[in-house]
Amino acid sequence: MDPRQTRGYRNRNPGNIDHLPSNRWQGLADPPIEAPPAGGGRPRFARFVSHEYGIRALAALLTTYQDRHGLRTIRGIVARWAPGSENDTEAYIAAVARRMDRHPRAMLDLHTHADLRPLVEAIIHHEIGGNPYDRGTIDAGLRLMGVTAQGRAAVVRSDTVRAAAGTAAAGVAATAVVQPMAEAAAQAAPALAALHGLAPWLAALIVIGVAGWFIWQRLRRPA
């Protein structure tokens, strides 16, 4: 089958991520869930406004597996993504490892383009029977996650997720990755310049308050 004829492609959701109202993905379409399939069955999968946002959601979910659950191998990640209750998990693991040209137990770092991109591509290929996207489209989706070809992402922000991919039964609970204290301090630097000459204890209280305000503002932003 042409992958462009699949539900995943039509939904701009090539990872076949289930829709749950509690999921707050960036780029969800309106309505956020697919229409009932023409051939019968229940509506199940999320819809996105663009393929890039669907790819971003796939990358975010995979990165959650590493950051929240400590899964760093193809075997560990795919076993959670596609558990045996719904899938031939061993065949899925073997297909992804073969397409990535990696051993199933090889360690991955999904904050790097070199590991995240081929894993995303392999899962897309398995989910929708091929990869209809050019390199630029996939890279654009990864850039929405903060991952570029230039190297390791310093910060990868993930949506709050309460469901695994459409092929997975287990839920996950991923929280947004907050901005590092270093960035908050850099943003606050102009305001802190005026503290020179104050009593040390008073300056420390002001520094803590300003840094906390910047972090709170970052957490209020949508994922």
Per-residue 3-state assignment (H helix, E strand, C coil) for the chain: CCHHHCHHHHCCCCCCEECCCCCCCCCEEEEEECCCCCCCCCCCEEEECCHHHHHHHHHHHHHHHHHHHCCCEHHHHHHHHCCCCCCCHHHHHHHHHHHHCCCCCCECCCCEHHHHHHHHHHHHHHHHCCCCCCHHHHHHHHHCCCCECCEECCCCCCCCECCCECCCCCCCCECCCCCCHHHHHHHHHHHHHHHCCCCHHHHHHHHHHHHHHHHHHHHHCCC
> Are 198 and 110 within one domain?
no
Distance CA 131, CA 123 (A): 9
209, pLDDT greater than 90: no
> Are 132 and 197 within one domain?
no
Tell me what pLDDT residue 185 has.
40
Q: Is residue 171 one of the residues assigned to a domain? A: no
Do residues 15 and 53 lie in contact, with contact meaning Cβ atoms separated by under 8 Å? no
Last residue of a domain, one of 96, 127, 143: 143
Of 221, 196, 193, 192, the closest CA to residue 209 belongs to 192
Q: Is residue 118 one of the residues assigned to a domain? A: yes
Q: Is residue 16 one of the residues assigned to a domain? A: yes
Do residues 82 and 168 lie in contact, with contact meaning Cβ atoms separated by under 8 Å? yes
> Are 134 and 36 within one domain?
yes
2 pLDDT tier (thresholds 50, 70, 90): very high
Q: Is residue 26 one of the residues assigned to a domain? A: yes
> Are 81 and 132 within one domain?
yes
Number of domains within the chain:
2
> Are 99 and 198 within one domain?
no
> Are 189 and 110 within one domain?
no
Domain residue limits at 128: 3-143
> Are 113 and 215 within one domain?
no
Q: Is residue 41 one of the residues assigned to a domain? A: yes
Calculate the average pLDDT of the chain: 81
100, pLDDT greater than 80: yes
1 pLDDT tier (thresholds 50, 70, 90): confident
pLDDT in tens, 15-58: 999 999 998 999 999 999 999 988 888 999 999 999 999 999 99
Tell me what pLDDT residue 208 has.
73
> Are 83 and 134 within one domain?
yes
> Please, what is the angle between helix 113-128 and helix 135-143, to 10°?
120
Tell me what pLDDT residue 222 has.
46
Tell me what pLDDT residue 186 has.
40
Rounded mean pLDDT, 57-66: 97
pLDDT in tens, 15-24: 999 999 998 9
Predicted TM-score (pTM) above 0.85: no
177, pLDDT greater than 70: no
153 contact partners, CB below 8 Å, separation of at least 6: 111, 112, 145, 146, 147
Tell me what pLDDT residue 37 has.
87
Do residues 23 and 29 lie in contact, with contact meaning Cβ atoms separated by under 8 Å? no
3 pLDDT tier (thresholds 50, 70, 90): very high
> 94, exposed or middle or buried, with CB in 10 Å at 0-12, 13-18, 19+?
middle
Q: Is residue 134 one of the residues assigned to a domain? A: yes
> Are 10 and 93 within one domain?
yes
101, pLDDT greater than 50: yes
pLDDT in tens, 125-170: 999 999 999 999 999 999 999 999 875 654 445 576 654 455 543 3
> Are 131 and 30 within one domain?
yes
